[in-house]
Homo-oligomer: A and B are copies of this chain.
Amino acid sequence: MNQFTPTARTQVKRLADRGKYDTETVYRILDEGFFCHVGFVVDGQPFVIPTGYARVGDDLYLHGSAASRMLRTLAGGVPVCVTVTLVDGLVLARSAFHHSMNYRSVVVLGRAVAVEDRDEKLRALTAFTESVIRGRWDTLRPVQDNELKQTSVLRVALSEVSAKVRTGPPKDDADDYALPIWAGVLPLRLTPGEPVPDPKLPAGVPLPENVKKYSR
Contacts and interface: CB of A to CB of B under 8 A. Distances in A.
A44 B186 CA distance: 38
Q: Is the interface of A mostly helix, strand, loop or mixed?
A: mixed
B207 A182 contact: yes
A206 interface: yes
Given A125-B96, A133-B90, A143-B96, A45 B81 contact: yes
A141 B50 contact: no
A65 B15 CA distance: 10
Interface of A: 9, 13-14, 35, 37-42, 44-50, 52, 65, 67-69, 79-83, 85, 87, 89-90, 92-97, 99, 101, 103, 105, 107, 109, 125-126, 128-129, 132-133, 136-137, 139-141, 143-144, 147, 150-151, 169-170, 172, 176-202, 204-208, 211, 214
The 7 closest A-B pairs by CB, nearest first: A187-B193, A39-B46, A39-B48, A37-B37, A48-B83, A50-B85, A184-B197
